[in-house]
Amino acid sequence: MFTTPRIAIAGAGLGGLVCARVLQQHGVPVTVYEGETHPHSRSQGGTLDIDEDTGQAALRAAGLFDQFLALSRPEGQEWRLYDRHASLIRHDQAGEGDLSRPEIDRGQLRALLLDSLAPGTVRWGHSVRAVTPLPHGAARLHHHDRTVEEFDLVIGADGAWSRVRSALSDAQPSYAGVTMVEAHFDDVDHRHPGIAHLVGRGTMTAKAGRRSLVLQRNSNGHVRAYVTFRGPQDWHAGLDLADTEAVRARLLAQYQGWHESLLDILRENEGGFINRPVFALPVPHSWQRVPGITLLGDAAHLMPPAGVGANLALLDGAELARAVIDHSAIDAALDAYESVMLPRAADNAKTAEQMLTTLMPDTDSDEAAFPETLWPSGTLPDPHPAHTS
């Protein structure tokens, strides 16, 4: 091993945390800077399906696979597809012992990763304002409090609106033409039996043309709904998004003619609605090497939700850490990492783009377009592209 490098990670999301974990396992110190003030300052999002070839491989590399399995829900791989009349079109269930894509709440997985790190690794309430390259390969990290620090490697794991990205690329996320409006149900089996019946043990999608309704079962009887439609980003023009009843009325008008049991998804939610427009980076997104700076997860390859975002972030983090451990110089490590990560990300982003176009066409046809090649069994959407990777 070469002289121990000074490494900073911007962002305490899944990708940044698994990178820190693998580095620490091999004796490489690292500091994670996170703008949130504590681990529970906001909801961490819904359920994730962790793929055996990507996310699970990263968790194995981090020595956390068994702990992950103990928290995961293999039964959550169940998926139901309905048309707008609530007729069941397809029903997939995992076979006994199938662990190809078990579900886990994002918050549970993040807590597992946080607990695996040495105390003090994450510096909460320390957001990164910018990063600038320095001569001889180092990088200067600028904090929002105007203090600066220098590192041999700064890793941008700071999500869709990454501040680190601008050191490498002028690219910015753009609206993908699709919006998700999130809603919540608690104690669903007792308080919302109709919703529980629709979602089963995993995920359900009801689809017609450019509109869909998605339910995802989380742990502890919680279900998240995603009212998903193609349209302008300002679909809510003239509407106060904090006015739950006004938002409900607007959505019910959009889904007029759908089956009453599906409309209950819009009627029965607990709390308000959360507007989540879908953004994506250009495809492909790449950059010329800047010594001492790189990206992972959504900071590197934000794409429409297609069930791969969190998995790729985890794999990026583990592979980047491994490259640092295996190479005698940071630049060689970045060569090894980026030469694999960038083409992989481009391939997945193209598929995600195709999937979004197929699932959310600019038409109101009732035809349900879910070809096997674009929506394989168990591939579930990750509807939080704006979250830190």
Q: Considering the entire predicted model, what is its pTM? A: 0.92
For the stretch 6-28, pLDDT in tens is 999 999 999 999 999 999 999 99
Is residue 285 classed as helix, strand or coil in its secondary structure? coil
Check whether 123 has a pLDDT greater than 70: yes
Check whether 385 has a pLDDT greater than 60: no
For the stretch 64-87, pLDDT in tens is 999 999 999 999 999 999 999 999
Check whether 266 has a pLDDT greater than 50: yes
Cα–Cα distance for residue pair 213/181, rounded to 1 Å: 10
Check whether 212 has a pLDDT greater than 80: yes
* Percent of the chain residues past pLDDT 90, beyond the cut: 84
What integer pLDDT is reported at residue 360 of this predicted model? 86
Cα–Cα distance for residue pair 97/161, rounded to 1 Å: 39
What integer pLDDT is reported at residue 213 of this predicted model? 97
The secondary structure element, H or E, covering residue 80 is strand 79-82
**Cβ-defined contacts of 166-171 (< 8 Å, 24+):** 166/130, 167/130, 167/131, 167/132, 167/133, 167/139, 167/290, 167/293, 168/287, 168/288, 168/290, 168/293, 168/294, 168/295, 169/285, 169/286, 169/287, 171/281, 171/282, 171/285
Check whether 156 has a pLDDT greater than 90: yes
What integer pLDDT is reported at residue 368 of this predicted model? 45
Q: Is 261 exposed, middle or buried (0-12, 13-18, 19+ CB in 10 A)?
A: middle
What residues does 10 pair with on adjacent strands? 33, 156
Q: What domains does the chain contain, in order, with CATH numbers?
A: 7-74+99-173+280-359 (3.50.50.60)
What integer pLDDT is reported at residue 387 of this predicted model? 36
Closest by CA position to 268, among listed 202, 181, 212, 195: 195
For the stretch 297-354, pLDDT in tens is 999 999 998 889 999 999 999 999 999 999 999 999 999 999 999 999 999 999 999 8
Check whether 2 has a pLDDT greater than 60: no
> Which band of pLDDT confidence, cut at 50, 70 and 90, is reported for residue 366?
low
Cα–Cα distance for residue pair 202/219, rounded to 1 Å: 10
> Which band of pLDDT confidence, cut at 50, 70 and 90, is reported for residue 374?
very low
For the stretch 27-47, pLDDT in tens is 999 999 999 998 887 777 789
